[in-house]
Amino acid sequence: MKNIFLNMGYFLKETITVMRLNLLSNILSIFSTGLILFILAMTISGWRISAKAAEAIEGEAEISVYFDKGMDNQGALKLVESIKRIEGVRDSRLIGESEAYDRMVKILGKDAQVLKVFDDNPFSPFIEVKINLNAMDHVLEELDHMTGIQYIRDNRDVLDRLGNITHLFRILGYLMGAAVGIATLVILSHMIRLGMQNNREQINTLRLLGAPGIFIAFPFLLQGLLLTLGGGALAAALAAFALKQLYARMAGPLPFIPLPPGGALISGMVIVILSVSAVLGIVGSLLGLLSARNH
């Protein structure tokens, strides 16, 4: 290990020499690895954005509880208090007829004219219950056991769909991760083998001089690391640019979509991509060295 550290300058020089022997292939490897990692970076970012949106909407998860027509205001308020005590309920509030009407006017906007058709307010009072999405089943079960409740409306369909999108992005992320890993490892191990093939005379000479395996292999390990880190840096730069553009375009027309802070998203993505690059670089180089040794 001491020898490795002391010879770092030599190893770097050797690595550059090895890479210069196949300059075009090495440059193309950096670009192809970079593009593959770019796709991974965008998938990871999409996953994080959708997860954030789902989290925000989940935070707004609420159900509407309609109580018996005959129940007076006092009874409704008592029901509100009972609902608040259910585990998983964050808040519950009585919404009167007029507030329900106003809300619908807001939602319908210009089309609210249609409500004028009715002589009386067509909306019933109800209890708005904010819940933790994970506890929805439990809350609904508890509400079923309560007396005075006529009907419960949940937004399960919407929430389930959002959950599915997040799940899809997660699966895509895993698949992309696997695809990127395999493709990068194949490219890299091929490059390392090529490098060793081109330098086999030197490698044999070092063996005959008694050089340890790690001393012979280190420049090739370094080559793999530089190739993937180069690709990773390229991917990170491209992805950062793409995300900035995406944020700028989404901020105007789609302000209601809750996005994670851009700076944090980009810096997190850069760290992940560079770490993945480094790991793939080391693993790919080791695979290349092993396969070169076996041939």
Partner 1 sequence: MIEAAGVSLKYPDGTVALKGIDLQIQAGELVYVTGHSGSGKTSLLKLLMGMEYPTTGYLKVLGQPIIKGQAEGIRRLRMRIGPVFQEFRLINGRTAMENVMLGMRFLDIPRSRLKEDAHQALVKVGLEHKRLSLVENLSWGERQRVAIARAVARKPALILADEPTGNLDRDHALDILELLASFRDKETSVIITTHATHLIDGKKDAGLIVMDKGNMRWERVG
To the nearest whole angstrom, how small is the minimum distance from the Cβ of residue 215 to partner 1? 5
22 alpha-carbon distance from chain centroid: 36
C-alpha R_g of the chain = 30
Q: Which DSSP category does 151 fall into?
A: E
Strands (E), the chain: 62-67, 89-95, 126-131, 149-153
To the nearest whole angstrom, how small is the minimum distance from the Cβ of residue 209 to partner 1? 5
Q: Pick the binder of partner 1 from 82, 155, 202, 291 (CB under 8 A).
A: 202
| Contact present, 224 and 18 (Cβ < 8 Å) | no
The reply to whether 149 sits near partner 1 by the rule CB under 8 A is no
Euclidean distance between CA atoms 222 and 161, whole angstroms: 46
The reply to whether 252 sits near partner 1 by the rule CB under 8 A is no
The reply to whether 198 sits near partner 1 by the rule CB under 8 A is no
The reply to whether 215 sits near partner 1 by the rule CB under 8 A is yes
The reply to whether 245 sits near partner 1 by the rule CB under 8 A is no
Q: Which DSSP category does 135 fall into?
A: G
The reply to whether 1 sits near partner 1 by the rule CB under 8 A is no
**Residue with smaller CB distance to partner 1, 17 or 150:** 17
**Residue with smaller CB distance to partner 1, 107 or 208:** 208
Q: Which of the ranges 6-14, 75-83, 136-144, 187-195 carries the binding residues for partner 1, by CB under 8 A?
A: 6-14
Euclidean distance between CA atoms 143 and 125, whole angstroms: 17
Q: Which of the ranges 52-60, 157-165, 197-205, 223-231 carries the binding residues for partner 1, by CB under 8 A?
A: 197-205
Q: Taking CB under 8 A as the criterion, which residues in 94-123 touch partner 1?
A: none
Q: Taking CB under 8 A as the criterion, which residues in 17-46 touch partner 1?
A: 17
Q: Pick the binder of partner 1 from 95, 206, 238, 246 (CB under 8 A).
A: 206
Q: Is 227 exposed, middle or buried (CB count within 10 Å of its CB: 0-12, 13-18, 19+)?
A: buried
Strands (E), 121-190: 126-131, 149-153
